[in-house]
């Protein structure tokens, strides 16, 4: 009743297994009922937040304690619903563009630790996939799982005297997860109904990203290819260790790899016993990920401490390549541009790169977004951010919480996830960790070719020189201003600009409104004094004025009181066009 087919996996073009058939459809129908029933209390509360009586009424504010309580209910619901929803909760915990901060904080507690299935159910899977019994396939096999996750579990074994790790997909897990994915795709229109466009975009994108990611994780053939490709990219780096695939003992449900020892990267005490230089380790870890993302375009996308280890000589070990990201050349170029913007402290360049990648609405208020990016960059530098600044920024988006103009495409969402998780690991190892400093050094020394590197180096030097020059010039001016304040000679001039003539328009509308509103009492007075005809004329004149007033509020489609924000690339194109017209 359950069939499997190979379907194309965008954007790599590879194929992955995807169950289908009547069994999946029947299970999806049953799971839909279970899932909807579990979510009814939350959906009821969220609906009343928008309209107090669901169909009508004002929206209501939600206290932080209430939001946290709901987040914990959501977390427990994900755990009850099984592997697919545990994975979904983990992904949501790295997406503040999809959920409020309270939900993100609580869902980040979700762990992928699930009790392993009994060996009696796993042994037939291995023997069926590899075509022989365990004793013939392996010299030794420890039937106690050394790791258990929601989708698979790992065992230690031995082949030809070599220690290996055998990763086995849980029985029937593909059918269970595929049924849940179908339910999610069916319920998506319900979740996005009534949502503003920004949130709807995020939810649709998140669902597609989640489905793609979890299907890849359940295809060990895909993971084997990623192990080989990323391993080849670091073949000449002695301080990076990635398991080799044992092809003779691997299928799309069983993956056998060389066993690599190591201490979890967040075990600070053991690293100290090894004499590991933690700041140097952090720097190397960041450099490896920058290379994978910017240069190779293929990266390990799940860098939590359980998937990163360190050997006594300082070698970095990477495990679990089920979740990987792929970036096209254009996105890689724009990410390099983003890193250059960080290195040169050019916030406009950073925003332009986000616009070009489709991650930032080009119509966004650049002043507000500049403040937001400033805060993020300061956080990257490890600086303390005042709560007042955060509250002030959030206040500017308070009335449109989900209209924050960030729209993360699927490929960038994984980059953001990696950056977020990796920052937590690096802060554990080195509280003084400065991501911007590492970026600056990398883009100058390794991140680009000689010509681009020299250009970046010049830009950074110019930025530093300009800042120094400004500081030197500013000091005497500040001292002079303070002297004037003491002598009470400081004069402050304030100029209110109205380039769009807004005040004139408002004045006209106010005048028209006064005339229109006066028409009713004037008509009533004329009716009592002079009869129906003068009163009708006065009322008609009032209606005409009212029509003119209404007409003045018409506008073309587009945002009010704003002008389009163009990217630097577009401005360069316009300047080139103007220059060409001038030459003609």
Q: Is residue 478 part of a domain?
A: no
Which segment of 130-134, 423-427, 544-548, 560-564 scores lowest on mean pLDDT? 560-564
**Rounded CA separation 397/392 (Å):** 9
pLDDT of residue 13: 53
* Co-location of 248 and 302 in the same domain: no
> Which residues span the domain enclosing 441?
262-447
Name the residue with higher pLDDT: 451 or 243: 243
Residue 134 lies in a domain: yes
Residues 228 and 348 in one domain: no
- The answer to the question of residue 428 being in a domain is yes
What would the pLDDT profile of 107-125 be if each residue is shown by its tens digit? 877 766 677 889 999 999 9
Q: Above pLDDT 70, what percent of the chain?
A: 64
Please indicate, yes or no, whether residues 347 and 380 belong to a single structural domain of this protein: yes
Q: Is 312 left (phi over 0), alpha (psi -120 to 50) or beta?
A: alpha
Q: What is the pLDDT of residue 339?
A: 84
Q: How far apart are CA 114 and CA 410, in angstroms?
A: 27
| Same domain (yes/no): 298, 346 | yes
- Looking at the structure, tell me whether residues 136 and 275 fall in a common domain: no
Q: Which long-range contacts (CB under 8 A, 24 or more apart) does 345-348 make?
A: 345/377, 345/463, 346/459, 346/463, 347/373, 347/374, 347/377, 348/568
Q: Tell me how many degrees the CA angle 264-244-17 measures, rounded to the nearest 5.
A: 95
Helix (H) or strand (E) holding 299: strand 298-300
354-392 pLDDT, tens digit per residue, is 888 887 777 777 887 887 778 777 766 666 655 554 455
Task: Using alpha carbons, list the distances in angstroms from residue 172 to 154, 160, 210.
Answer: 17, 31, 19
Query: Are 304 and 443 part of one and the same domain?
Result: yes
Q: Which of 417, 447, 477 is where one domain is finished?
A: 447
Domain count, the chain: 4
Of 235, 260, 285, which one is at a domain's C-terminal end?
260
Residue 267 in domain: yes
Please report the pLDDT score of residue 432 as a whole number.
84
| Domain end position, chosen among 395, 427, 447 | 447
Q: What is the pLDDT of residues 247-270, one digit of tens each?
A: 999 999 999 999 999 999 989 999
- Tens-digit pLDDT profile for residues 20-49: 666 677 777 788 888 888 888 887 887 777
Does the residue 225 lie in any domain? yes
Is the CB of residue 426 less than 8 Å from the CB of residue 439?
A: no
Instruction: Name, of 129-143, 400-414, 451-465, the range with top average pLDDT.
Output: 129-143
pLDDT at res. 518: 66
Which of 135-139, 212-216, 453-457, 572-576 has the weakest average pLDDT? 572-576
150 shares a domain with 53 = no
- Write the pLDDT tens digit of every residue in 453-501: 555 556 555 555 555 555 555 555 555 655 555 555 555 554 545 544 5
Do residues 211 and 75 share a domain? yes
Give residue-wise pLDDT tens across range 166-193: 999 999 899 889 988 888 888 777 666 6
How many residues are there in the chain?
584
Regarding whether 165 and 117 lie in a shared domain, the answer is: yes
Shared domain check, 234 and 345: no
pLDDT of amino acid 382: 63
pLDDT score, position 50: 73
> Is residue 35 in some structural domain?
yes
Q: Are 307 and 201 in contact (CB under 8 A)?
A: no
Cβ neighbours of residue 394 under 8 Å, at least 6 residues apart?
none
Residues 62 and 200 in one domain: yes
Same domain for 227 and 79?
Answer: no
Give the N- to C-terminal CA distance of the chain in Å, as an integer: 72
| Residue 532 placed within a domain | yes
Average pLDDT over residues 432-457: 66
pTM above 0.95, yes or no: no
- Any idea what the CATH number is for the domain that residue 150 is in? 3.30.200.20
Does residue 242 lie in a domain region? yes
Answer yes or no: is pLDDT of 289 > 50. Answer: yes
């Amino acid at each position: 009743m359950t069939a499997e087919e190979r379907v194309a996996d965008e954007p790599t073009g590879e194929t992955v297994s995807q169950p289908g058939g009547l069994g999946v459809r029947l299970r999806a129908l049953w799971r839909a009922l279970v899932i909807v029933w579990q979510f009814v209390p939350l959906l009821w509360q969220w609906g009343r937040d928008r309209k107090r009586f669901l169909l009508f009424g004002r929206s209501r504010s939600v206290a932080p304690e209430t939001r946290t309580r709901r987040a914990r209910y959501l977390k427990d619901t994900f755990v009850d619903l099984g592997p697919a929803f545990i994975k979904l909760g983990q992904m949501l915990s790295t997406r503040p563009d999809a959920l409020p901060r309270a939900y993100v904080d609580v869902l980040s507690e979700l762990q992928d630790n699930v009790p392993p299935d009994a060996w009696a159910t796993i042994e037939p899977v291995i023997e069926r996939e590899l075509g022989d019994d365990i004793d013939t396939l392996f010299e030794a096999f420890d039937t106690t799982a050394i790791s258990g996750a929601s989708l698979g579990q790992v065992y230690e074994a031995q082949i030809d005297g070599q220690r290996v790790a055998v990763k086995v997909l849980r029985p029937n897990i593909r059918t269970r997860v595929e049924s849940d994915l179908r339910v999610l795709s069916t319920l998506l229109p319900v979740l996005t109904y009534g949502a503003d466009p920004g949130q709807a975009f995020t939810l649709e994108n998140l669902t597609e990203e989640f489905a793609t990611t979890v299907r890849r994780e359940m295809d060990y053939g895909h993971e084997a290819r990623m192990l080989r490709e990323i391993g080849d990219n670091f073949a000449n780096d002695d301080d990076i260790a990635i398991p080799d695939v044992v092809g003779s003992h691997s299928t799309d449900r069983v993956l056998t790899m060389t066993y690599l020892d190591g201490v979890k990267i967040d075990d600070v005490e053991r690293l100290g016993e090894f004499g590991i230089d933690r700041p140097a380790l952090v720097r190397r870890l960041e450099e490896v990920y920058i290379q994978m993302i910017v240069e190779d375009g293929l990266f390990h996308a799940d860098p939590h401490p359980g998937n990163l280890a360190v050997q006594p000589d300082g070698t970095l070990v990477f495990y679990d390549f089920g979740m990987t990201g792929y970036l096209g050349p254009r996105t890689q170029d724009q990410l390099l541009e983003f890193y250059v913007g960080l290195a040169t402290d050019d916030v406009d360049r950073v925003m332009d790169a986000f616009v070009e990648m489709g991650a930032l609405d080009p119509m966004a208020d650049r002043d507000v977004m500049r403040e937001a990016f400033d805060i993020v960059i300061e956080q990257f530098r490890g600086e303390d951010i005042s709560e007042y600044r955060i509250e002030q920024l959030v206040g500017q988006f308070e009335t449109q919480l989900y209209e924050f103009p960030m729209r993360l495409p699927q490929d960038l969402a994984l980059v953001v996830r990696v950056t977020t998780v990796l920052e937590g690991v690096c802060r554990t190892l080195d509280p003084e960790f400065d991501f911007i400093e590492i970026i600056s050094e990398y883009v100058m020394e390794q991140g680009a070719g000689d010509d681009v590197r020299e250009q970046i180096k010049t830009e950074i030097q110019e930025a530093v020189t300009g800042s120094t020059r400004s500081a030197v010039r500013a000091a005497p001016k500040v001292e002079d201003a303070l002297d004037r304040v003491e002598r009470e000679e400081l004069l402050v001039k304030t100029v209110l600009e109205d380039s769009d003539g807004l005040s004139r328009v408002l004045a006209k509308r106010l005048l028209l409104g006064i005339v229109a509103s006066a028409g009713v009492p004037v008509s009533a007075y004329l009716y009592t004094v002079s009869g129906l005809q003068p009163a009708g004329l006065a009322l008609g004149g009032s209606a005409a004025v009212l029509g003119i007033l209404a007409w003045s509020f018409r506008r073309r489609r587009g945002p009010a009181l704003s002008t389009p924000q163009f990217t630097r690339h577009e401005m360069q194109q316009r300047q080139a066009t103007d220059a060409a017209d001038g030459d003609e």
